[in-house]
Every structure is written in structure tokens, then in C-alpha cells.
Amino acid sequence: MNEVVDEGGDGQRIDNFLFKRLKGVPKTHIYQLLRSGQVRLNSKRVDAGCHLQSGDVVRIPPVRTGVRPVPGHGGVKPAPFPFEILFHDEALIVLNKPAGMAVHGGSGVSQGVIEHLRAQHPEWKFLELVHRLDRGTSGVLFLAKSRAALIELHRQIRAGQMEKRYLTLVKGKWRNPRQAVRLPLHKYVTPTGERRVVVASADGLDEKGAMPAHTIFILKKSWPDFSLLEAELKTGRTHQIRVHLAHLGFPIVGDDKYGDFDLNKRLSREMPAKGLKRQFLHAAVAEVAHPVTGRRLRVDAPLAIDLRTFLEQLDLSETSVVKRS
């Protein structure tokens, strides 16, 4: 099968890329596939140390993995899912991704957005993710329906021509109406295999090997203990918004990886009927040049109902959840 490299794989070594996609296959066999030329990068042979770029096409040969097939790719067909479609034509489809659904299967997730859509629309001969959203993040998600559209949208992403803005609720009183944050990020894997990101200047990490990351935050509304921010991504690094905010002392409410865990528990306990069950992060707006017509295309995703409900509760609340013990 062919797999197109998205932002999450940009800069990754191809052997590590294959390890994640061929769960259950011995590493020695993966290296043998590379040496023998059965794995191809943009139709060419490649060695294990090659670094990938967004838009690259990796051909992965059929391999017996020893694990159950992913639904939508020869396994059990996923049940139809009623996605909210924000835009659709012959070149691309844009969804309002629901929180809790991964964009693709893997890493313990049997099926994601891409598997659902491929199963529901077998007539679409080409369908690939243009970019990714975390499983717990809702909002605008682009998928390309042709290789030409995918390549052009990836070009725009690399050139910084795709505008993406998120809404997020953070702990604390944000003061600046507009604040630019430029903090390089470093990705690493914990001993348990969990992927993590940290600001490179923290914990004595060298900034030289880190990826530059730039976010602009705009204050939209505030409460005694919380602030609603718009985050505009100038770069698209993994977990960029979450890590920048946590490093600044304003963790995203409900974030189970970089957030304030005690606060998350208190919110769940004190507002159980309408409590927040995930991180308050929503991809609200994306704007690109249409890959075929060249016309500017702006897509807005309405705030998910669970997030709207939580904000309404903050408006009605006269007590402080943060300061309670």
C-alpha cells in the first residue's frame, strides 16, 4: 500500500515511520525490506536513515504483522458514521472531526476517520489525510480526494500558507490581548513508548536540534480562574499549542498529558452532569488556496456542544473551582 507522509511524519526517519505502521513485525524484517528495495520512497529505493518530508509517498509492501487487520483495510467494515461535512467537492472534503475519534487507526486504535470514510465511500479511489488532529481535539480536518490536491495542500503547509486557528480554554488569568510565543520544541519517547513534546530550553535540552515553533494567542474572554484563547498556528508542530501553554503556566483545561491533573479531577467531580470529558481544544478555522481553482477557501467549524456547555457553566458559576482544595 502507499501512504502519504503528513505533518506528523515530517522529519522522521523512515525506519521509525515503518516501526509504527508495522506493529508486530520484527525490526530485523523491516530493515530487510528496506535493504531489498521493497520499501520505496517516491518510487525510489531508500536506506533506513533517510528523513521524510510532508507529501512524500512511502510504498509499504504486504507484510504479515501478526495483529488483527485494521477495519476498512481488509478487516471488519466500520459501521457508518454521520460526519459533519463542512465542505466537499471533487478535490477535497473538509469535516468537523468529533472529539474522541482518531484521524487514523493504529497505536491501539482500530479505526479512525480515514478508515470510516474509505469504507463508507469505496467509490472514492483516492482519499488521504492532509493534516492531523489529536484524538481529543475537535474541529476542521482536511482530506484530499486526489494526489494532485494532496501535494498542493502539503506545499501550502510547508510554505506556511495554510492558516489554522484554534479555540482553547486555559487555567489562569491571561493578561495580554495578543501575545506571540516562539519556543522551539523537542520530541521524545518515554521508556513506556509514549510520545511526548517539551520546550527545548527546558530541562537543559539543547535548542540546536529542536524544531522552531511559533504560536500567536489572542484573548477572547476571561473568568476569575480561566481564559478563553484563540491560538493561531504559524508552525504546525506536534502538540504545539498544548506544550506552549503548559510551559507558560496556562495548561489547557482537560488536557490529560500536559495539563493540571488535580484541576481536571475537580472539574469532573464538581460538575459531573456537564463536566468536561476531554481537552478544551477545537480547530475552529482553516483557510487555504483551493488546490484546483486557487481561490481562497475558508472553513469554519462551530464549537462542539460539550465545549459550549462548559463555557455556559462558567458564565453561571459564582464560585472558584481552581482555588478549592
Instruction: Label residue 121 left, alpha or beta by phi (over 0 means left) and psi (-120 to 50 means alpha).
Output: beta
Residue 320 grid cell: 472558584
15 among known catalytic residues: no
Alpha carbons 211 and 183: distance in angstroms, whole number: 9
Alpha carbons 44 and 48: distance in angstroms, whole number: 13
Alpha carbons 238 and 244: distance in angstroms, whole number: 11
Positive or negative torsion for Cα 61, 62, 66, 70: positive
Q: Which of 56, 134, 260, 306 is catalytic?
A: 134
Return the closest-CA partner of residue 57 out of 66, 70, 44, 68. Answer: 44
β-strand partners of 198: 186
DSSP sequence for 106-146? BTTB---HHHHHHHH-TT-S--EESS---TT-EEEEEEESS
Termini Cα distance of the chain? 53
Three-state SS string over 61-73 comes to: CCCCCCCCCCCCC
Return the active site residues: 134
